[in-house]
């Protein structure tokens, strides 16, 4: 059996195994560890969950999530209702800075505002959400050298990032570029999360290579 079929089958089994993902309308393609998910899912959390499930599989080096969220009739929310619900969720979440606002259009939420650091999307699990677009601006003011040192120091502390990691951090303006090798998607996500938490980071260029 080829490695291509092995990886595809493993991803399909993982999707079927995950109780939070309905895989009935998902198809999986794999070319040398570059995996693509195609088809439909009934909610945005399942869109995210399917991608997370695929990343858990050994041998998946890249992932392209082409899934489309097709809401059940009972889960549809009109633009005004979803906008209000999303903004209420943002205001009640203590992790979201003041000034972040949401606007809905046909189930697609756009987040806007200006903050001093990246923020997690607190609206992804609301009923009626088909997608979330982050148009939040990160205010400038951090020294690129300080950002690089802070991110590298955070990586040195993280348990999921080994001491001999060759991940390199380079900051230009408010954009951080990450290069090097990581062993797993869990390690990859830990590096990305640590980078986004640094004050002054506007964008993260992910040039990391997953060795598997």
- pLDDT tens track for 37-61: 999 999 999 999 999 999 989 889 8
Residues 169, 202, single domain; the answer is: yes
* pLDDT exceeds 50 at position 24: yes
32 burial type by CB count under 10 A (0-12 exposed, 13-18 middle, 19+ buried)? exposed
Residues spanned by the domain of 37: 3-69
Q: What angle do CA 183, 185, 188 make, to 5 degrees?
A: 80
Assess contact for 128 and 75: CB atoms under 8 A: yes
Q: In this prediction, what percent of the chain has a pLDDT beyond 90?
A: 52
- What is the Cα gyration radius of the chain? 19
Question: Which two structure tokens, joined as six digits, stand for 131?
Answer: 């997608």
How many domains are contained in the chain?
A: 3
Partners of residue 61 on adjacent β-strands:
none
The verdict on pTM exceeding 0.85 is no
* pLDDT exceeds 50 at position 73: yes
Tell which of 138, 159, 179 closes a domain. 138
CATH number at residue 148: 3.30.1340.30
Give the model confidence (pLDDT) of 94-152 as tens digits: 777 788 899 999 999 998 886 655 455 688 889 999 998 877 666 555 678 888 888 88
Residues 128, 149, single domain; the answer is: no
Cα(13)–Cα(54) distance, rounded to whole angstroms?
Answer: 10
Tell which of 48, 69, 90 closes a domain. 69
SS3 15: helix
């Amino acid at each position: 059996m080829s490695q291509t079929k092995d990886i595809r089958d493993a991803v399909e089994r993982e999707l079927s195994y995950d109780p939070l993902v309905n895989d009935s309308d998902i198809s999986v393609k794999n070319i040398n560890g570059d995996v693509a998910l195609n088809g439909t899912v009934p909610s945005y959390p399942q869109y995210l969950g399917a991608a997370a499930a695929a990343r858990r599989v050994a041998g998946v080096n890249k992932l392209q999530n082409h899934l489309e969220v097709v809401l059940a009739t009972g889960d549809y929310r009109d633009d005004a209702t979803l906008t209000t619900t999303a903004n209420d969720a943002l205001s009640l979440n203590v992790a979201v800075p003041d000034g972040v606002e949401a606007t809905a259009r046909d189930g697609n939420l756009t987040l806007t505002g200006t903050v001093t650091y990246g923020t997690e999307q607190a609206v992804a699990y609301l009923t009626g959400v088909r997608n979330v677009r982050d148009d939040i601006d990160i205010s400038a003011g951090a020294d690129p050298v300080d950002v690089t040192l802070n991110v590298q120091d955070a990586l040195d502390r993280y348990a999921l990032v080994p001491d001999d990691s060759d991940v390199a951090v380079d900051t230009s303006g408010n954009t951080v570029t990450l290069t090097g090798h990581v062993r797993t998607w869990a390690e990859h996500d830990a590096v990305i999360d640590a980078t986004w938490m640094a004050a002054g980071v506007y964008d993260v260029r992910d040039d990391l290579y997953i060795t598997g």
